[in-house]
Amino acid sequence: MTCHNIVMSWHRAGLSIAPRFPALRLEWSPCHDLQNRNLSPLDIFRPSSRGSSGLQLVADNILQEWQLRLKAPPSNSDEDFSRAGDGFADDGFSDMELSPAGLQPTLESGYGMENVQNPEFDLGDNPSASAVLDAVAHEFPLNRKQRMVAERIIQGALAWKDHPYDCSKRDQLLMYVGGEGGTGKSRIIKAIVAAMRILKREHEVILMGPTGAAADNIGGNTIHTALGMSIGAKQNRTPPQRIQRLWASKTIMIVDEISMVDLQTMAKMNNRCKVARSLSPDSPELFGGLPIVVLMGDFYQFPPVKGLPLWRQPRDKKEDEVLGKEIWNRFTDVIILDEQMRQAEDMPFRNLLQRARQGRLTEDDIKLLNSKSISGKTSVELHSLTCIVTTNSLRHRLNHISLIQFAQSRRQHIYIFPGEHSRLPPARNLALEEIFSQQDEGVTIPSQGLFLYTAEMPCMVLANVSSVSGLVNGSRGTACGIIVDPEGKFDVSSTLELSD
C-alpha cells in the first residue's frame, strides 16, 4: 500500500505539470497497476524468476572484495597511491570483467596512455624538453601555445631532475593556463603526463579537480580526496600516512576547472599541501614547496558552488579569503589558449559559441537557437535525450517518464526496490511512507527511497563513489544488472500496465 500511495503521488504531480508541458503527459494506470493484488513476490533464488531482468546473485566473498576495493586503496606500491584519498572511496578498482569466478575488478591504465609507449630510440642522458615532446607528438600533437605550456613544465622538470625536492635549488613555477572550452587544455595535461612517463617520472605528477566529474575527465582525483580534506568538518592536523606517502614524491600539481575553486579552498589547498609534505603550516613555501603548480580553467564557465571565485575581492575579516587571493595573485605566468580545436571544422557554430560565451548573441543567433526548440506539444522519447531543468520536482518527473517510456519500448518489467536510508532529514517517528517517498537531495539524501529499475536503463551516478573507477557525481552509464543482497529472502516487484 505504501508503494501504491507513493506512485499515486508521482502521478498527481505529473498531472499538475502536464498542462504546462503537454509532452510530459503519460498514459498509464497507476491506481490499477499497483493495487495489492498486482504485487507479487519475486523469488530471487529461482533462475526462471530472474530471467532477462538483470537480477543476479554473487558470492559473498566477491561482494566483500568489491567493498574493500571501493573503500580502501591497495598498498602494494607507491604508484597505487597516485589517486588515493582520505576516507573516500578511491582505489585501484576501475573496471569489471566477467569471468567464471564472477565479476572481478581489474586495474586501469594510466591517463591518456593507451597508445603511448616508451620510444624505441634513446633520448640520451640529457634530453631537451622539445625532444621529449617530439617523442609523444604522434599521439598528442600540440599547437604553438599548447606546446609553449608543455615545454615550460618539462623544462622545469628536467632542470631539477637531480634534486627535485630541494626547493632551495630552483625557482617555483606558478602558472595559470586559460582559454575557452575546446582550446585543448586537457590535451596539454595528457601530453605532460605522457612526457613524464617517457622520462620514467610520471609518479611525480598529481592531477586534481574540484568535482568528481572534473577529476575523472583528466584521470585524477578530487582536491578533497587527494589532500585528505573533509567537507564541512574540522580538518585533521596530520593527514593519514598514505596521503603523506602520496605527496612525498610529487613535484608537479595540475588543477583543472579552477573556476570552480573559491578563495577559501585555495587557502586550504595551500595549507594541506604543506602538511601533506611534512612542512609546518607556517612555512612560507606555497603548496609545500612543490616545484610546479599549474591551474587550468575558464572563468567564463561554472563559478564555485559556494564562496567567492578567485577573481573577486575578499570580504572583510575573512582571513582565508584574503590568503586565497594573495596566493592567486602569485600566479603571474599566464598563457591563454585561443586556437579552437574542438569546433575547428564548424566555423559558424564556433563563432556562435564565442558570442554566447561573451554575452553578445545577435538577433540571428537567437532566431537560430529558437528554431531548434521542441514544441511543448511534441511527443519525445526522453530516455534518449539530455534534459536540463531548474527544479528537482521536474527532474524527478522526467526521470519517471523516461523510465516508463524505456521499459515500454522494450516490453520490460519495472522492478521496485526499497532503499536503505542511513541519512534522513532530522525528524523522528517518520512513517514508512514518508521514508520511502524521499527523493534524492544532493549530499543530504544521495538516493531516493524507492529505486526503480529496468534492465539496460540509462542512469547517472549522484555521488562520488570511486573516482578511479569513474563512479563520480555526474558520470553516466547503463544499468546492466542488480546484485541482489544474499541476506534477502524475496523482493517485491510490480508490473506497470503501459499503453502503446
The C-alpha cell of 146 is what? 599548447
Name residue 254's amino acid.
I
Query: Any idea which residue has 575581492 for its cell?
Result: 313
> For residue 248, what pLDDT is reported?
87
Asked whether residue 270 carries a pLDDT value surpassing 50, the answer given is yes
> For residue 98, what pLDDT is reported?
29
What tens digit of pLDDT does each residue of 398-441 get?
888 888 888 888 888 888 777 666 655 555 555 666 666 667 76
Residue 213 banded pLDDT, cuts 50, 70, 90: confident
What tens digit of pLDDT does each residue of 143-167 get?
999 999 999 999 999 988 776 666 6
Q: Residue 28 burial by CB count (10 A; 0-12/13-18/19+): exposed, middle or buried?
A: middle
Asked whether residue 497 carries a pLDDT value surpassing 60, the answer given is no
Strand pairing class (252-255; 205-209): parallel
Which residue in 183, 93, 87, 195 sits closest to 134, CA to CA? Answer: 195
Q: What is the third-level CATH fold of 129-336?
A: Rossmann fold (3.40.50)
Asked whether residue 110 carries a pLDDT value surpassing 50, the answer given is no
pTM score of the predicted model = 0.74
Which one-letter DSSP state was computed for residue 334?
E
Please tell me the distance from the alpha carbon of residue 156 to that of residue 138, in angstroms, as a whole number.
23
| Domain boundaries along the sequence of the chain | 2-57+382-412+414-453+484-494, 129-336
Count of positions (residues) in the chain: 500
Beta bridge partners of 492: 41
